[in-house]
């Protein structure tokens, strides 16, 4: 990333925490012999979501600390699979879910490839221009900023006695904020 080192480490910690929690949910659900719940609102569970969110969170942490083009290719492939899956999926919820994760994987690939030509080491002292195409970066900023606000508002409205119910939503909001911050530092 092109931001200050402290920001890179904070982004890595945020992404690692969110991705680690999603990975824990997958492991916990497998131990219990049931599908991982992806929503705190009792909707049908999709373990696919937790697996994808874990992969995105851990990839975001890696990209924040060790930027490079190598991150782009696996996420480009994942984006292609998810976007095709969104077109072929049954049910609006599954299509929207895969579309969102496809956009996230595409954004990860875009950031990795765009920053490959950026300043070496990504130190804040360099005065290089922004990496990537400003229009694409702007559209992704609008998408992830809106997504983080939407998920954050759902966390607030999901309050109540069950503290753990909004936790998956809070993780998704945190990862949306992390993606937004990574795009800002490009």
Report d(CA 76, CA 78) in Å as an integer.
5
Report d(CA 47, CA 36) in Å as an integer.
5
Residue/partner pairs of 87-93 with CB below 8 Å, 24 or more apart: 93/43
For the stretch 10-42, pLDDT in tens is: 888 988 988 888 888 888 877 776 554 443 334
Q: How many CB atoms lie within 10 A of CB 110?
A: 22
Sequence-distant (≥ 6) Cβ neighbours of residue 127 within 8 angstroms:
none
For the stretch 60-101, pLDDT in tens is: 888 888 878 888 899 999 999 999 988 887 778 878 888 999
CA-derived radius of gyration, the chain: 16
**Is the pLDDT reported for residue 1 higher than 70?**
no
Q: What is the DSSP letter of 69?
A: G
pLDDT greater at residue 5 or residue 141? 141
**What is the four-CA torsion angle of 162, 168, 171, 175, rounded to 10 degrees?**
-150
Residue 161: per-residue pLDDT = 54
Q: Is 75 helix (H, G, I), strand (E, B) or coil?
A: helix
Query: What phi and psi, each to the nearest 5 degrees, are found at residue 117?
Result: -95, 5
Tokens of 76: 């480009």
């Amino acid at each position: 990333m092109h931001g200050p080192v402290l920001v890179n480490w904070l982004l890595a910690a945020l992404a690692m925490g969110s991705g680690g929690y999603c990975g824990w949910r997958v492991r916990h659900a497998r131990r219990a012999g049931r599908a991982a719940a992806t929503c705190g609102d009792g909707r049908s569970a999709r373990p696919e979501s937790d697996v994808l969110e874990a992969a995105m969170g851990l990839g975001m942490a890696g990209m924040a600390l060790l930027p490079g083009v190598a991150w782009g290719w696996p996420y480009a492939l994942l984006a292609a699979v998810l976007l095709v899956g969104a077109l072929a999926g049954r049910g609006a919820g599954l299509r929207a879910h895969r579309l969102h994760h496809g956009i996230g994987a595409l954004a990860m690939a875009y950031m990795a490839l765009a920053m490959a030509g950026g300043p070496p080491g990504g130190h804040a002292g360099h005065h290089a221009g922004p990496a990537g195409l400003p229009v694409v970066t702007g559209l992704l900023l609008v998408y992830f900023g809106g997504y983080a606000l939407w998920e954050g508002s759902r966390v607030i409205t999901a309050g109540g006695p069950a503290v753990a119910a909004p936790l998956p939503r809070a993780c998704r909001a945190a990862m949306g904020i992390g993606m937004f911050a990574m795009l800002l530092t490009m």
